[in-house]
Amino acid sequence: MLKYLSLIIVSILATTPIFADSKLGLGRTALPSEITAWDVDILPDGRGLPVGNGDAIVGEETFANKCASCHGDFAEGVGNWPALAGGFDTLADEDPVKTVGSYWPYLSTLWDYINRSMPFGGAQTLTSDEVYSIVAYILYSNDLIEDDFVLNEKNFQEFNMYNSNGFIIDDRKISEYPIWSKEPCMENCKKSTSITKRASIIDVTPEETSTEVEIKQSALSPVEKDTASIDPKLINAGKKVFKKCKACHAVGEGAKNKSGPQLYEIIGRKMGTANRYKYSKGFKVAAEEGRIWTEELMVEFLRKPKKFIKGTKMSFGGLKKDKDLNAIVAYLKTQDN
């Protein structure tokens, strides 16, 4: 039986080969259509990009339908799924935030990866226009383009990614291999030792100390919050706008930190002081300076977060309409759920 099966297989290979082998006299040259089907890689200079276009406005809807379940509505990441936006100027921190915006050097890598592998469970089901739109939305989420900018194969290489100069040539063969090849030290190798990192970096910091409680209690400024005079309709409108924020932030008494800090009593609170939340470097500086969240500063921040605090982890692009900004600040003042 195995003998006849082997003969059948050899017969098939002999009559329908694709790749030529001059020695065996088998095969044929691959057809251009066959090569095209396999040659789908996109090079750093944009070679290989198909004709197509897309903008962040269309991309937002496509991203919400195809990507948001894992990466969040604003590319902020969900659970262990990675964030795609934010993290600027954090790569030198003890806890860097590596995203498309802060870390990736080539935009072509993003297009190629989405085209090949996304969405999860449905790889290679996206059209070229959908991929362009999703890439545009991720660029917009990183504040690299305006929402109405149309991305296509012709202007693709105009974007110089934020960390394009953050990589170096791997010279370890010259700079490190000779060191590694030496006879290793086995005793008395260091004159002294020192602690270089502490447990707070890996999120096992002990419960807050009395000093931390005092800092937390002193974080509120004496700014009075007159909420009785706020129009209930404005509060209700702000509650609807806050739906854009609920994936990352919680409000109300007893609110807990999520991927973003809790916002209970945020108006009048010192910036960067939500207990047990790891803030970006920019917010740490704001906390050291004693900056307080006023209504005016909150509006300024929510209008353009990345401009207000450079390097913020918040990937949300900002609210464009004044009525939405006023409404959400009114809602936050009531500390309502």
Domain ranges of the chain: 53-158, 210-334
In the structure encoding, which two tokens stand for residue 288, read together?
Answer: 């050291």
Predicted confidence pLDDT, tens digits, the chain (337 residues): 444 444 444 444 444 455 555 678 788 889 988 887 788 788 888 888 999 999 999 999 999 999 999 999 889 888 888 999 988 888 988 888 899 999 999 999 999 999 999 999 899 999 999 999 999 999 999 988 988 899 999 999 888 899 999 998 899 999 888 888 888 888 888 888 787 766 654 555 555 554 544 444 444 444 445 566 788 888 888 888 888 888 788 888 888 888 789 998 899 999 999 988 888 888 888 889 999 999 999 999 999 888 888 878 787 778 888 998 998 999 998 864 4
| pLDDT value at residue 245 | 86
| pLDDT value at residue 219 | 47
Beta bridge partners of 54: 151
| pLDDT value at residue 131 | 97
Q: Are 58 and 70 in contact (CB under 8 A)?
A: no
- Give φ, ψ of 150 to 5 degrees: -95, 115
Q: Distance from first CA to last CA of the chain, Å, rounded? A: 73
| Element containing residue 200 per DSSP (H, E) | none
- Give φ, ψ of 162 to 5 degrees: -55, -40
pTM to 2 decimals? 0.54
| pLDDT value at residue 1 | 47
In the structure encoding, which two tokens stand for residue 33, read together?
Answer: 């259509």
Q: Are 129 and 51 in contact (CB under 8 A)?
A: no
For residues 80 and 13, give the distance between their C-alpha atoms in angstroms, rounded to a whole number.
Answer: 46
For residues 306 and 314, give the distance between their C-alpha atoms in angstroms, rounded to a whole number.
Answer: 8
Quickly list DSSP for 248-261: T---STT----SS-
| pLDDT value at residue 179 | 82
| pLDDT value at residue 318 | 83
- 53-158 against 210-334: fold identical: yes
Domain 53-158: what homologous superfamily?
A: Cytochrome c-like domain (1.10.760.10)
Burial (CB count within 10 angstroms: exposed 0-12, middle 13-18, buried 19+), residue 147: middle
- In CATH terms, the fold of domain 210-334 is Cytochrome Bc1 Complex; Chain D, domain 2 (1.10.760)
| pLDDT value at residue 104 | 95
Distances (CA, A) of 10 to 2, 15, 17, 25, 27: 12, 9, 11, 14, 13
Strands (E), the chain: 53-55, 150-152
Burial (CB count within 10 angstroms: exposed 0-12, middle 13-18, buried 19+), residue 229: exposed
* Location of structure tokens 């995203």: 99
